[in-house]
Structure 1
Amino acid sequence: MFTVEAPQITAPPAAGLRDRAVDASALAYVQIDRSGVIRDWNPAAERLFGWPRDEVIGRRLADTIVPAPLRSAHHAGFARRLVGGDSGGLGHPIEVPAVHRDGSELRISMTVDALGDDGFFAFVTDQTDGHRAQQELQRSNTLISAILQHTTAMISAKDLDGRYLFVNGEYERIFQVTAADMVGRAEADLVSAAVAAVGRGHDQEVIASGTAKTVLEEVPFGDEIRQYVVTRVPLTDPDGSVYGVCTIAIDDTQRRRSQDAIAAGEQRFWNTVNNAPGMLYQFRMEPTGEASFTFVSDGCRDIYQLEPEEIVESAAGLLDAIAPEDQEGFASSVLVSAQTLEPWDWRGSVIRRDGSRRWLYGASRPHREPGGATVWDGMLLDRTHERNTELDLEAVRRDLDDLVERLAVLSMSVPAVPEPVPALCALVITEDREALFDLWRAALRGERADAILAGHDGRLMVRLRPRGRDEIVVSCFRIGRPALGGLA
């Protein structure tokens, strides 16, 4: 009879299987004895902490992976576990800081368990990246919260139905509400129905389009209407669907008021400049002699028949308009003012495009710029009417002088001697000679002297005009005849 023996099944060595499993594990494995010395260390631990197994076996765990500031606490806790048999935390993951061989900080999660008299072992995972991400997230949340609560913009979020999900600190301050009370409420609970309807309409546009929108909105506060620049941004889920609207409102009232005030002031300035008599300007001359106008008021149209833009673009049109007989004097006065930085003062004439002549008076004050250019700020006044009046007066004087010469009983220029000339004395009767001498002494003092004296053939108007200090112009006119027995 044949007998068949059952095959013998030999169990593989348990220790060998454990070693292979530990070495193959992606989790770092660390074993220490009851004195805290490392007794086992798998490849994952090598990768995590940077210590090769053959170098780390026999080192104290605290000196290897525990950060220096925490080693005292680690020793105290380890001692309590050994002496008191404290099993708290065994078998549960705990997260603690650690250190890499190169000194960089790690954040690890480890599950520790006991090996009886052989010590303890732990499986360790690297939580460094996750911990850093968590810290970054926390910092970001803190930053966002600080911005939201301390910005001067009103920020809120509403759902698709227009109910508030969030309001920030500025919103609370402006409307005197609390964020908790606003959750679930609508904008119509705070402002008038008309204002709320405008805001709701803009919200719906953003929800429908899925794009941001910025508008100017006016919100009444008591007797005041404030203007806000309002930007609405759609809030979306990861799949892109819109679940609400974020609103950022910036109070633009003061800026707009300031802007309007500046614009009004600027308008008043230009009205003053352009309505001032004559032409205001800024003239610039480079060290090379190149000349240009950097500013010209509208008065140039009346004076030169040129547009301001023409003159600013090229100074040639204005400078070429100076009358030929006045160009040399103009150029000389400018050069002297540039050299001495004394005020520029000029009188001359220009020939306009239509051939007419205008007489001008120019005055300005120069200053030197760091680059060496000389700049004059000043004005040109049209004195054509005044000049024409002067010419008319000169013509009248010439005519009057001619008339005087033709009508005068006596007309002559004589030296400024101490006594009246004999020819004048001969015309005046003896009784008025003293008055004539008084008149003559006034002329010697440089005064214009006139008097009506009695002459032999009637009354005489005597006129004495000093010319310089050494000459007197004498004129006598007969203005009546004497009556019988005396002076008329």
Structure 2
Amino acid sequence: MFTVEAPQITAPPAAGLRDRAVDASALAFLQIDRSGVIRDWNPAAEKLFGWTRDEIVGRRLADTIIPAPLRSAHNAGFARRLVSGDSGGLGHPMEVPAVHRDGSELSISMTVDALGDEGFFAFISDRTDGHRAQQELQRSNTLITAILQHTTAMISAKDLDGRYLFVNGEYERVFQVTAADVVGRAEADLVSASVAAVGRGHDEQVIASGAAKTVLEELPFGDEIRQYVVTRVPLTDPDGSVHGVCTIAIDDTRRRRDEAVIKAGEQRFWNTVNNAPGMLYQFRMEPTGESSFTFVSDGCRDIYQLEPEQIVASASTVLDRIVEEDREGFAASVAESARTLEPWDWRGSVILPDGTHRWLYGVSRPHRDADGAVVWDGMLLDRTRERHTELDLEAVRHDLADLVDRLAVLSATAPAETEPARPLAQLVTDDDQEALGDLWRMALRRERADGILAGRDGRLLVRLRPRGADEISIACFRLDGPA
């Protein structure tokens, strides 16, 4: 026979089990003695705070993971706990700030308990991400609240039955109500039945379609009608079902009124431009020499028998109509104005599509753009009638001069000397030589002089006209036959 001796089973030391459990824990573990010096530190604590066990053991807790601004308060509270034996808070988790080895801030949840004369121990979990998320959420809520309460748009939310869930500060200001007065009530309690019916109709369309909708709505306020651009957005649950409508209304009254005023002003401007005599235009010459009209008024129809669009499309439609003898002068005047940026002034003539010959007068003021192009803003006038008048007047003057030459006793031009011209003096009697001298001195003063004098063969009409800087024109007519 033989016997088998049962193995001896011995329990491992409790301290060994505890050490293995602490080292394996996902929670950071630390132990401090009653002087506040760290005596134990597990791998999770190394990961959370960035200190290895060898580096941290022997350091004071307050100088290691407690934020600098809180160290004095921590030391004072720790001292009170040791003196009074206060156990308040032990065994209960508490969230406190901490600091990583690299100086970054942490938010931790720490449960502290006592080890008798050996000091205290704590299990710690990281709440930094949650704390930051909570802070971000709080900031977001604060931002959203600030926007909702300070925007100039009226914002409200209603449930599916049309009862208000929320109104912002602008809504309260416009309707002179408080949110407490509005929440739970329907829109018909605040505005007329007809206005409420329109709004409710739009709400139902958004609820049915599940899509946002923007419309222009008019709201009466006393004797005034205000226009609002209203956007309705469906409020949905996570499963996509609509549980309400958010309404954003922006007062567009002033903009629309301003737009109407601007439109009326623009209309007046264009009426003025298009009814002004002649053609208003903007002419542009690029640094390459290429030229174009960027704008012409409706007056081009009367001057060129062309539409504005035709001239803007191609400047040659008008430039090529300048008569041959005026083209060189036109080109030279434009080049000189572009070089000096002095006002452009030109008189010339053109041939219209129907063969009509017209005389034009152009004037404009140039400026140079940043890209080097020269731009002229100006006016072109049709002076055909004026030119015909000038030609007629020149013909009359020519005929009159011919008549004067045939009827005058004397028609001549003499130097503006001190004494009357000798041929004139010989026609006047000795008794009227002094009167002739008076007329002559008036002409020397650059004045027109006319007088009836006694001539040797009868009365004479004497006309003296200054001509140029140093000449006097003489015309002498016999008024009756020889005495």
User: Is TM-score (shorter-chain normalized) higher than 0.5?
Assistant: yes
The structural deviation recorded for 1:382 is 0.6
Alignment of 1:6-17 (within 5 A): 11-17=11-17
Q: Which amino acid aligns with 2:32?
A: I
Task: Please name the residue that 2:363 is paired with.
Answer: 363
Structure 2: stretches of 5+ with no match in the other structure: 415-419
Alignment of 1:83-482 (within 5 A): 83-369=83-369, 372-397=372-397, 408=407, 413-414=411-412, 418=421, 441=439, 445=443, 447=448, 449=450, 464=463, 466=465, 468=467, 469-475=471-477
- Asked if the contact 2:439–2:464 (Cα under 8 Å) also holds between the matched residues in 1, the reply is no
- Asked if the contact 1:31–1:40 (Cα under 8 Å) also holds between the matched residues in 2, the reply is yes
- Asked if the contact 2:462–2:474 (Cα under 8 Å) also holds between the matched residues in 1, the reply is no
The structural deviation recorded for 1:393 is 3.6
How far, CA to CA, are the matches of 1:476 and 1:326 in structure 2? 46
The structural deviation recorded for 1:329 is 2.3
How far, CA to CA, are the matches of 2:263 and 2:59 in structure 1? 79
- C-alpha change, 1:54 and 1:404, in structure 2 (3 Å) is closer
How far, CA to CA, are the matches of 1:421 and 1:21 in structure 2? 144
Identity %: 75
Helix, strand or coil at the partner of 1:64:
coil
How far, CA to CA, are the matches of 1:260 and 1:292 in structure 2? 33
How far, CA to CA, are the matches of 2:413 and 2:37 in structure 1? 136
Helix, strand or coil at the partner of 1:40:
strand
The structural deviation recorded for 1:387 is 1.8
- Asked if the contact 1:443–1:464 (Cα under 8 Å) also holds between the matched residues in 2, the reply is no
| Deviating more after overlay: 416-425 vs 27-36 | 416-425
| Deviating more after overlay: 319-328 vs 305-314 | 305-314
| Deviating more after overlay: 393-402 vs 277-286 | 393-402
Helix, strand or coil at the partner of 2:359:
strand
How far, CA to CA, are the matches of 1:32 and 1:444 in structure 2? 127
How far, CA to CA, are the matches of 2:354 and 2:317 in structure 1? 14
- Asked if the contact 1:463–1:476 (Cα under 8 Å) also holds between the matched residues in 2, the reply is no
- C-alpha change, 1:52 and 1:343, in structure 2 (3 Å) is closer
How far, CA to CA, are the matches of 1:414 and 1:8 in structure 2? 162
Q: How many residues align?
A: 469
The structural deviation recorded for 1:358 is 1.0
RMSD of equivalent CA atoms: 3.6
Task: Please name the residue that 1:80 is paired with.
Answer: 80
| Deviating more after overlay: 28-37 vs 170-179 | 28-37
Q: Which amino acid aligns with 2:256?
A: R
How far, CA to CA, are the matches of 1:415 and 1:477 in structure 2? 21
Task: Please name the residue that 1:484 is paired with.
Answer: none
CA deviation string 1:320-372 (max 9, x = no partner): 21111222222233334344444332222111112111111122233445555
The structural deviation recorded for 1:295 is 2.4
CA deviation string 1:20-65 (max 9, x = no partner): 3322222222222222222332222222222223333333322332
| Deviating more after overlay: 40-49 vs 355-364 | 40-49
Task: Please name the residue that 2:417 is paired with.
Answer: none
- C-alpha change, 1:257 and 1:453, in structure 2 (3 Å) is farther
The structural deviation recorded for 1:303 is 0.9
The structural deviation recorded for 1:289 is 4.0
Alignment of 1:43-82 (within 5 A): 43-82=43-82
How far, CA to CA, are the matches of 2:412 and 2:34 in structure 1? 142
| Deviating more after overlay: 130-139 vs 58-67 | 58-67
- C-alpha change, 1:369 and 1:15, in structure 2 (3 Å) is closer
- Asked if the contact 2:41–2:57 (Cα under 8 Å) also holds between the matched residues in 1, the reply is yes
How far, CA to CA, are the matches of 2:477 and 2:326 in structure 1? 38
- Asked if the contact 2:404–2:411 (Cα under 8 Å) also holds between the matched residues in 1, the reply is no
- Asked if the contact 1:444–1:466 (Cα under 8 Å) also holds between the matched residues in 2, the reply is no
TM-score (norm 2): 0.85
- C-alpha change, 1:439 and 1:462, in structure 2 (3 Å) is farther
- Asked if the contact 1:443–1:449 (Cα under 8 Å) also holds between the matched residues in 2, the reply is no
Q: Which amino acid aligns with 2:292?
A: S
- C-alpha change, 1:451 and 1:269, in structure 2 (3 Å) is farther
How far, CA to CA, are the matches of 2:66 and 2:95 in structure 1? 13
Q: Which amino acid aligns with 1:228?
A: Y
Helix, strand or coil at the partner of 2:362:
strand
- Asked if the contact 2:364–2:377 (Cα under 8 Å) also holds between the matched residues in 1, the reply is yes
Helix, strand or coil at the partner of 2:63:
helix
Task: Please name the residue that 2:32 is paired with.
Answer: 32
Helix, strand or coil at the partner of 2:377:
strand
How far, CA to CA, are the matches of 1:5 and 1:62 in structure 2? 56
| Deviating more after overlay: 73-82 vs 87-96 | 73-82
Q: Which amino acid aligns with 1:472?
A: I
- Asked if the contact 1:439–1:449 (Cα under 8 Å) also holds between the matched residues in 2, the reply is no
- Asked if the contact 1:440–1:464 (Cα under 8 Å) also holds between the matched residues in 2, the reply is no
TM-score (norm 1): 0.84
The structural deviation recorded for 1:376 is 2.7
Structure 1: stretches of 5+ with no match in the other structure: 482-486
Q: Which amino acid aligns with 2:34?
A: R
